[in-house]
């Protein structure tokens, strides 16, 4: 396996989430640069699209049911939408002030769901921009990552609450406590095994929760690795970035963990995605690069 990185055109852009777009390119958020970017997996050519407002802080993105790319504006308190050609950007204000939206994913109801990390709510926005918010049962839970489950519900993690939550399309919420205190779960995704997989930023573990709430945890080899965003790779394993150690991690459905060092000494991998070329792509926040890990 080999890793190649592509520097972003502007310094200190702070790339966060990354995903494969409908055009066969990798799209990413530039948190510090207030831009949405995309990179051609074949040529490495990068394009950037500036957002209308400064200090928007685009954080996490998802492909919407309308074919557009939707993203959270963590600092701007908005949900954004950009067309696949990059020419049209729309923004929708979240009713609750300073909600700090983070994770965002499409639900089984055809709407886009997002986590409000600062206001203790789960939000839902229709493709036409109508927003509804659902308050969590416990104060200061800090909902972060969110994902659609195979049961038709949305699953999310509570960074401060140390819980995994589930919300139905009607807004009914159930929560499951993590076995270890202060694990600070950061992100969650649906695995190919029918379970939900999540990262524990402070707990230094990868977790798996069954749809009935049963939880298993797998410890990373080195303490303090800080696993962050997690997604399913083209090999049907779970892949994640390690913020502190500058590594890309992989965990099999049986719990076996392998880590891959990024050559650049200043790397801080954050976002991760399965690329259209069958490789793993990642965003390097501190290194200000987009990286590619070739699986073959």
Q: How many CB atoms lie within 10 A of CB 262?
A: 23
User: CA 224, CA 232: separation in Å to the nearest integer?
Assistant: 23
**pLDDT single digits (tens) 206-261:** 999 999 999 999 999 999 999 999 999 999 999 999 999 899 999 999 999 999 99
Question: pLDDT 10s per residue in the chain (296 long)?
Answer: 799 999 999 999 999 999 999 999 999 999 999 999 999 999 999 999 999 999 999 999 999 999 999 999 999 999 999 999 999 999 999 999 999 999 999 999 999 999 999 999 999 999 999 999 999 999 999 999 999 999 999 999 999 999 999 999 999 999 999 999 999 999 999 999 999 999 999 999 999 999 999 999 999 999 999 999 999 999 999 999 999 989 999 999 999 999 999 998 889 999 999 999 999 999 999 999 999 999 87
Q: How many CB atoms lie within 10 A of CB 179?
A: 12
Query: 77, exposed or middle or buried, with CB in 10 Å at 0-12, 13-18, 19+?
Result: buried
User: CA 219, CA 209: separation in Å to the nearest integer?
Assistant: 15
Q: CA torsion, points 254, 252, 186, 213, in degrees to nearest 10?
A: -30
- Residues 233/274, Cβ–Cβ less than 8 Å: yes
Residues 6+ apart with CB under 8 A from 144: 102, 103, 115, 117, 156, 157, 158, 159, 185, 186, 187
Q: Report if pTM > 0.85.
A: yes
């Amino acid at each position: 396996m080999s890793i190649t990185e592509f520097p972003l055109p502007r310094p200190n852009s702070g790339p966060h989430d990354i995903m494969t777009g409908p055009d066969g390119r990798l799209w990413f958020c530039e948190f510090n640069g207030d831009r949405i970017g995309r990179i051609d997996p074949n040529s490495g050519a990068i394009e950037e699209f500036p957002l209308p407002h400064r200090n928007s802080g685009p954080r996490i993105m998802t492909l919407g049911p309308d074919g557009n790319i939707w993203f959270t504006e963590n600092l701007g308190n908005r949900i954004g939408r950009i067309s696949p050609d990059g020419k049209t950007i729309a923004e929708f204000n979240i009713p609750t002030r300073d909600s700090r939206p983070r994770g965002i994913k499409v639900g089984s109801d055809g709407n886009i769901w997002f986590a409000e990390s600062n206001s203790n709510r789960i939000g839902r926005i229709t493709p036409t921009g109508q927003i509804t918010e659902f308050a969590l049962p416990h104060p200061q839970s800090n909902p972060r990552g969110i994902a659609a489950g195979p049961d038709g519900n949305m699953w999310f993690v509570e960074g401060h609450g140390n819980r995994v939550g589930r919300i139905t399309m009607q807004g009914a919420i159930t929560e499951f406590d993590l076995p270890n205190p202060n694990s600070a779960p950061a992100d969650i995704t649906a695995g190919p095994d029918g379970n939900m997989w999540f990262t524990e930023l402070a707990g230094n573990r990868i977790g798996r929760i069954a749809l009935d709430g049963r939880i298993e945890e797998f410890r990373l080899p080195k303490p303090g690795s800080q696993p962050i965003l997690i997604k399913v790779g083209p090999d049907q394993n779970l892949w994640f970035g390690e913020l502190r150690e500058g590594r890309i991690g992989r965990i099999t459905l049986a719990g076996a963990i392998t880590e891959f060092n990024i050559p650049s000494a200043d790397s801080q991998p954050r976002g991760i995605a399965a690329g259209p070329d069958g490789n793993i792509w990642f965003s390097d926040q501190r290194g200000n690069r987009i990286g590619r890990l070739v699986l073959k």
